[in-house]
Chains A and B, each alone.
Chain A
Amino acid sequence: MNSRAVRRLGVLLVAGAAWWAASAPAQEDQDPAPTPAIPVAVPAPVAENVGRETCQMCHRQETAHWDPTVHGRVFSSEPRTEKQALLCEACHGPGSLHQQDPRNPEFIIGFTRSSATSVERMNATCLACHAGGERIHWRGSVHETVDLACSDCHNPMSQESVFGLEAQVSASQTCMTCHTQQRVDFRKRSHMPLHEGKISCTDCHNPHGSATEPLLRADSVNQLCYSCHADKRGPFLWEHAPVVDNCLNCHLPHGSNHEALLAAAPPFLCQNCHAQAGGFGHPGTLPTSGNLAAGAFPDPRVLGRGCVTCHVQVHGSNHPSGARFHR
């Protein structure tokens, strides 16, 4: 599919969906009232608090799951605020109307698909306690602008993950509910050890927003990579321009069909930039199957790790004789 076709498809998809959304009649499950301009985490005005015991009369199973969560423990035994002391109603709002008419979703703040609460109000309820910190860049972040709710990723009602009250058993599994492409990447020949439990999506990305795209936990891609690969940080005596510019010039961060997360097979990855004529005809000549180990003229550029067999310090050299990254 060429550029023009992709462009047409993209424009058609977004414009068509927008036209449909703008013109189609409202569905039954829409919010009964427009979302308030400034979302405020307050319940319906006439409702009153009824207390946990009343909630538990119907929701005993829910509270059994909620009690051992961090919210359950803190709210029950060491509440930091008056609101936390309200327990269930700290998040769901006063429950008296809900108690009178449990089938009316407008009478309780809900956090699921079937609730009448808007996503903005759901999130405002959570942010009433969780604003700032990790979430300081939430407003305007990509997840916020596509209408993601806190409860899309978190399930405060049950302790599934060790930390973070994720909706799935881990942050990574939660992310992959939507990001299926990455699930495939992490299964490729070389990959970050995510499926082995050694790294999490949230080690590199802050899903709550960041000052660096795409939701990175550092000021730049390289500075993020250096946090685990400080041996590549240098600064070296001899630097390699695309390396200091962006690790992703050569590496795919999640997984690759090539060794070392390389974006393309060596030596072609290098030849996407290098066509110099010097150095005995390399690197500009075309490597072919005749240069394989069993070929007529074996060539280290296509054997093993390729060019980096000789240019072994490709990330930068600290040797006075390392200008070509050989030492």
Chain B
Amino acid sequence: MRAGARAPLRAALAALAVALPGTPAHSEPTGGFILDPAGIDTTRVVEPKGMSWIRPARRRTPTGFLYPYPLQPQTLNPLGENWLGEFSLDIGGMGTSGDDDEARFWRYADWGSNFLLRSFRVGLLETSKGIYTNLQGGGVGRDDQFYLGEISWLGRARLRGSFNGIPRDYARDARSVFTGAGSGTLSLLPGLTPGGNPTEPPFSQGSVTDAQLVATVESLDTSVLSVQRNDGVVRLDAWLRPDTRWFARYRSLSREGERPFGGSWIYPNDVGATARAVETIEPIEDRTHEVSTGLELSLPQGFDANLVYSGSLYRNQNESLTWDNPYLISGFTPVAQRELVRQGRFALAPDNDAHNVKADLAARLPLDGRFTATASWTRMRQDQDLLPPTVNSGTIGSLNLDAWNTAAALGQSSADTEVETLLLRGDLLLRPWKRLRIGARVRYFDRNDKSAYTACNPSTGEAGYITEDGALAALAGVGGHQIPTEVCGGPAGPAPFAEDFRYRSTPYGHAVLKAEGSVDARLDPKTQLGLRYAWIRKDYDHRERDHTVDNTVRAELSSRRLQWATARISYEFADRSGSTYDYDPYAAYYASSLPQFTGFNQSFTLAQFRKYDLADRQLNRANVRANFLLPKDMDLAVSGQVRDIAYDADYGLQYDRGASVSVEWNWQPSPNLNAFVMGAWEHARTETRSIAGRPGLPDPNAGGSVYPLQNAWEVRNRRNTGFATVGLRSRILERWILETRYGFIGSYQKIDYDYASASALSIGLTPAQAGTRFPDLETLDHELQSSIRFQITKHLSVRAFHLFRRSEIEDFHQSGLSDPDLLNAMPNPFIPGSTGGAGTLYLGHVDRDYTAHVFGATIQLRY
């Protein structure tokens, strides 16, 4: 179903959505940091008296897992008239040693060696008015600090807030030839000429400016690229009546810092010229404001309703990033023209707004039935001012950049894009017999892209744009992607350029209709068997298939029948088919669809290739979860999954198979001792087939002139991951508590390939050079955490802790990236004897092996 056909339905359903009274899409506040992931008061320890003195047997959840022995109760102590309170403080210092300057070590954590306020908590209760206040936090003053707070007018209203600092290190070894990192402009260091390095071919390694660039990079100090994310939430809940709650919530999510980014000047291989790619640095300084408010109603008659409005406003301080070109674009135009490609400019994430209205209704029905309905409507919109198609000026070959570097070159001044989504869902459950429940569910989701953009330059009457700020013109001497057409106010007539390119945006949309039936049979009071069938039709706008249809069958069984075990087993089969696969659904958005186009319509892609999100496929998946209630206060849990997704495709992803298993043992014989062991293993493998196409006559078929079978290749990917963790907590001699935990995860991934002939490879590469496999991707992480705590008095204790991490990594993507000599020595296959000059300039970040220790000690006060 195409967009136009769905329009009336959308309008009607949107009207229904806003007419109905959403599920509050917000969880409890989250807070924690690396030394206290749960965000709890770290001075609390397991209560030596346990949960009960009257029950000798340990309590288990209905599924059968042991509840952990409880932490000490947060009992409030008398502070004065009508006031009760509790305070705690865990304060000290910490330091690191070893290879503690590795970005992965610092990811999401601040290991700074200094003062440590590991946790604090203040709890107060004003008894006469019933006002409870709690404020706690940890990592105070650090980048990963967090705070959680609450004021509760007991039974009437509640104000909660949280703040979470989330540091994210991307690199601590970046070497950049730019100044201005973190701003919207990256300028080359003094001595380097934008658009002017190196000067002239041949682009040998000995070229003065290449060497100068390399020397410059090598002389640079390393720098840190990181982004600090701060997430703050305030939420007020008020119970207007016992059955009615109103809430209002505000969230501010800000980011500030820099991170690695890309940048290109034509594809730097197979090109026949020395075009370049450059890693740049993206400035991050933005904030998302999120507001929501809603009502929740729950009547004793079995009627529940939620009505929620949510708004999200994203504001970016940097609308663009302009960066100097550290290279000279090589090609066939005179150097003086190629030097005009001095800068590139990105449009960064635009300011944008989203608004959502959501309503949920639920009503009790006869036959122990229940009907639940949801309607939700969202509008996402942005209208950012557009940048001119290029930042450069001057004339390169036949292209006058001055006609494209001003706002006058824009067919529209701002983006004016909008997407609406609509969700409607109805769910009916009935229990016609005591032990049988039947269900029927319909869900409809629609994404409607209302945007339409045509790349027109009214000042030239051309459709198109400037490829990479003039680099293509510098390479080829002709304009590139600009075609005069009456569509953009230009002259009708034969196109001067035959290359096909996308000149207007494609409004991708989709609609998903799902109908599901289910039967849940209670085979005995503790065993339930569920069977469900779902039919899912997904209609696409402007994709390779008009629609796909999934038929899914799922069976699941849950049983606590045995006193000593619980099992949950499920099996799912899904079959996807759909309408005819059109390998080129985008023709209408390409220049070849214009009447003036006189070139030949190049094959868009391989006709027999199937994109995996649209391909016919069969899925089989089985899950088993079982836990065993072992004697002597032990748990044993076993889980496993196998899956097989087989795609019906001659080319493209062939299959995605995997299996995993995990075993966990947990022993809690007393409040003073807890030990656990867990091991897991998973395996996954995929295979992809393709044919390396060469531009040419419009024959899209495998075995044709563009996709000859001698260019065929396939790649196989096999991954194994092992995980183990073991831990112990023990109270020794009453006053000492020892905790230790060791964790390991290792992943090995093999990627190998076959190909019919060398013509499947990059131009110029021989089979001997290509080999048959990549070096294995490997990661191996060990972590050992230990702490010992000594209770001095009831209110005072001391604690010392140590963390050891060892990480090993092998990633072929990064091999050599830190060596500027190597990168600038990339040979150009089109220049005989070339030994360099077709390179790329990276920031030089490489994930390295590291070994690091963290030491610390704190004093714990508790009242």
The residue that A1 contacts in the complex, of B108, B434, B569, B644, with Cβ under 8 A, is B644
Produce 1/0 per residue, B417-440, CB < 8 A to A: 111010101010101001100010
Instruction: Please determine whether A134 and B840 come into contact, CB atoms closer than 8 angstroms.
Output: no
Assembled-state Cα–Cα distance A285/B757 (Å): 11
Residues on the A chain within 8 Å of B362, using CB: 132, 136-137, 139
Q: How far is the CA of A142 from the CA of B473 in the complex (A)?
A: 57
Would you call B27 and A300 a contact (CB within 8 A)? no
- Taking residues whose C-beta sits less than 8 angstroms from the other chain, chain B's interface range is 35 or more
Quick check: B262 and A211 within 8 Å, CB to CB? no
Q: Is B570 touching A181 in the complex (CB atoms < 8 A)?
A: no
Query: Are the CB atoms of A231 and B314 closer together than 8 Å?
Result: yes
In the bound assembly, the distance between CA atoms of A257 and B380 in angstroms comes to: 33
Are the CB atoms of A162 and B270 closer together than 8 Å?
no
Mark interface residues in B378-399 (1 if CB within 8 Å of A CB, else 0).
Answer: 1011101011111000000000
| B376 interface contact, C-beta 8 A | yes
Contact (Cβ within 8 A) A34 B30:
no
B74 at the interface (CB under 8 A from A): yes
Q: Report the Cα distance A214→B757, complex, angstroms.
A: 45
Q: Are A67 and B25 in contact (CB under 8 A)?
A: no
* B183 interfacial by beta-carbon distance below 8 Å: no
> Within the complex, what minimum Cβ distance (angstroms) separates B802 from chain A?
18
The yes or no answer to B68 lying at the interface (CB within 8 A) is yes
Question: Which positions 777-792 of chain B face chain A at CB distance < 8 Å?
Answer: 777, 779, 781
Flag if A77 contacts B70 (CB, 8 Å).
Answer: no
Residue of A nearest to B411 (CB): A320
Q: Which candidate, A45-53, A86-94, A196-204, is the interface stretch facing chain B? A: A196-204
Hey, which chain A residues are within 8 Å of B132, CB to CB? 73
Q: Which of B30, B354, B528, B664 has the most CB of A within 10 A?
A: B30
What's the nearest-Cβ distance from chain B to residue A225, in Å? 12
Question: When the two chains form the complex, which single residue of A26, A132, A136, A173 contacts B38, counting CB atoms closer than 8 Å?
Answer: A173
Cβ of A97 under 8 Å from chain B: no
Residues 5-34 of A, flagged 1 when their CB comes within 8 A of B and 0 if not, give 111011101110110011010111111001
With contact pairs A184-B723, A280-B270, A309-B264 given, residues A145 and B556 touching in the complex (Cβ less than 8 Å): yes
Q: Which residues of B contact A158 (CB under 8 A)?
A: 51, 70-71, 73
Are B690 and A284 closer than 8 Å at their CB atoms? yes
Query: Most chain-B Cβ atoms within 10 A of its Cβ — which of A38, A68, A298, A318?
Result: A318
Instruction: List CB contacts (< 8 Å) of B686-709 with chain A.
Output: 686, 688, 690-696, 706-707
Rounded to whole angstroms, the CA-CA distance of A276 and B166 in the bound complex is 40
- Whether, in the assembled complex, B796 has its beta carbon less than 8 Å from a beta carbon of chain A, the answer is no
CB under 8 Å from chain A, chain B span 519-568: 520, 522-530, 542-543, 555-563, 567-568
CA A187 to CA B49, docked complex, whole Å: 34
9 A-B pairs with the lowest CB-CB distances in the bound complex, closest first: A197-B32, A277-B693, A10-B571, A293-B816, A132-B298, A132-B304, A312-B262, A310-B264, A10-B622
B765, A74: Cβ atoms closer than 8 Å: no
Tell whether A286 pairs with B829 under 8 Å between CB atoms, given A21-B559, A147-B528.
no
List chain A residues, Cβ under 8 A from B522: 35
Q: Which residues does chain A contribute within 8 Å of B774, judged by CB atoms?
A: 288-289, 292, 302
> Is there contact, CB below 8 Å, between B63 and A152?
yes
Residues of chain B within 8 A of A172, CB atoms compared = 37-38
Residue contact B304 to A131, C-beta cutoff 8 Å: yes
Q: Contacts A198-B164, A294-B822 hold; do A304 and B815 have CB atoms under 8 A apart?
A: no
Taking A80-B155, A265-B813 as contacts, is the C-beta distance between A147 and B558 under 8 angstroms?
A: yes
Q: Known contacts being A282-B270, A286-B761, is A61 close to B520, with CB within 8 Å?
A: no
Kindly list chain A residues whose C-beta atoms are within 8 Å of the C-beta of B28.
Answer: 163-164, 171, 200, 202
B140 contacts A by Cβ under 8 Å = no
CA of A283 to CA of B450 in the docked complex: distance in angstroms? 30
Q: A211-B423, A296-B769 are in contact. Are A233 and B314 (CB under 8 A)?
A: yes
Smallest beta-carbon distance B369→chain A, Å: 9
A94 vs B725: C-alpha distance when bound (angstroms): 44
Of the listed stretches B186-194, B646-654, B731-739, name the one at the interface; the rest are far from the partner chain: B646-654
Considering only CB atoms, which chain B residue lies closest to A296 in the complex? B769
B contact residues around A242 at 8 Å (CB): 611, 613
Counting CB contacts under 8 A, is B851 at the interface? no
Are the C-beta atoms of B148 and A162 separated by less than 8 Å? yes
Return A285 CB to nearest CB of chain B, in Å. Answer: 4
B11-50 interface (Cβ within 8 A of A): 23-34, 36-40, 47, 49-50
Which chain B residues lie closer than 8 Å to A178 at the CB level?
63, 625, 637, 639
Q: Are A73 and B765 in contact, CB atoms less than 8 angstroms apart?
A: no
Nearest CB of chain B from residue A159's CB, rounded to whole Å: 6
- Would you give the shortest CB distance from B169 to chain A, in whole angstroms? 12
Tell whether A34 pairs with B525 under 8 Å between CB atoms, given A13-B569, A114-B57, A145-B520: yes
**A68/B73 in contact, CB under 8 A:** yes
Compute how far the CA of A178 lies from the CA of B666 in the bound complex, rounded to whole angstroms: 13
Residue pair B662, A181 in contact (C-beta under 8 Å): yes
Q: How far is the CA of A218 from the CA of B290 in the complex (A)?
A: 14
Closest to B699 in A: A277
Contacts of A106 in B (CB 8 A): none
A8 shortest CB reach to chain B, Å: 9
Cross-chain contact B816 with A292 (CB below 8 angstroms): yes
Please name 15 further chain A to chain B contacts, defined as beta carbons within 8 Å, in addition to the given A257-B779, A327-B346, sorted by A numbering: A7-B571, A10-B573, A10-B620, A30-B524, A59-B52, A61-B54, A131-B298, A146-B556, A157-B70, A184-B682, A277-B603, A280-B272, A305-B813, A320-B455, A321-B468
A236–B507 alpha-carbon span in the complex (Å): 10
Q: How far is the CB of B805 from chain A (nearest CB, A)?
A: 12
Q: Do the beta carbons of A38 and B368 come within 8 Å of each other? A: yes
Closest chain-A Cβ to B711's Cβ sits at a distance in Å of 8
- Provide the B144-175 mask, 1 if CB < 8 A to any CB of A, else 0: 10101010101110001000101000000000
| Residues in chain A near residue B819, CB distance under 8 A | 293
Contact in complex: B156, A291 (CB < 8 Å)? no
- Given A230-B314, A285-B270, CB of A219 within 8 Å of CB of B378: yes
Asked whether B743 is an interface residue with its Cβ less than 8 Å from the other chain, the reply is: yes
Bound-complex Cα distance A60 to B51 (A): 9
State whether B349 touches A232 (Cβ < 8 A): yes
Residues in A neighbouring B743, C-beta threshold 8 A:
187
Closest to B36 in A: A197
Residues 158-187 of A, flagged 1 when their CB comes within 8 A of B and 0 if not, give 111111100111111100011011011001
A31, A134, A188, A275: which contacts B693 (Cβ < 8 A)? A275
Measured between alpha carbons, how far is A149 from B38 in the docked complex, in Å?
A: 23
CB atoms of A199 and B30 under 8 A apart: yes
Closest Cβ–Cβ distance, residue A185 to chain B (whole Å): 9
Q: Could you pull out 23 A-B pairs where Cβ atoms are within 8 angstroms?
A: A24-B561, A31-B526, A61-B49, A114-B60, A137-B23, A140-B427, A159-B71, A172-B38, A180-B637, A188-B747, A219-B358, A220-B445, A238-B502, A257-B747, A281-B695, A285-B761, A293-B817, A293-B819, A318-B350, A319-B389, A320-B387, A323-B481, A323-B501
**Which of A79, A84, A133, A281 is in CB contact (< 8 Å) with B306?**
A133
Are B762 and A297 in contact, CB atoms less than 8 angstroms apart? yes
Does A43 reach chain B (CB closer than 8 Å)? no
A170 touches B570 (CB 8 A): no
Whether the pair A188, B24 counts as a contact (CB closer than 8 A) is no
Please judge, given known A-B contacts A30-B524, A139-B372, A197-B146, whether A170 and B32 are in contact too, CB under 8 Å.
yes
CA distance A265 to B810 in the complex (A): 13
A112 to B604 Cα, complex, angstroms:
62
Q: What are the interface flags for A254-266 relative to B under an 8 Å C-beta threshold, 1 for contact and 0 otherwise?
A: 0001100000111
A238–B451 CA distance with the chains assembled, in angstroms = 10
Q: Is B674 in contact with chain A by the CB < 8 A criterion?
A: no
**A181/B680 contact (C-beta < 8 A), A111-B62, A293-B823, A297-B765 known:** yes
Chain A residues with Cβ below 8 Å from B67 are 112, 155, 167
Known A146-B556, A155-B67, A304-B842; contact A218-B25, beta-carbon cutoff 8 A: yes
Is there a chain B Cβ closer than 8 Å to A118's Cβ?
A: yes
Check if A272 sits within 8 Å of B688, measured CB to CB.
yes
Does A321 contact B465, Cβ atoms closer than 8 Å? yes
Chain A proximity of B501: nearest CB distance (Å): 7
User: Does A42 have its Cβ within 8 Å of any Cβ on chain B?
Assistant: no
Q: Which of A137, A163, A301, A320 has the most CB of B within 10 A?
A: A320
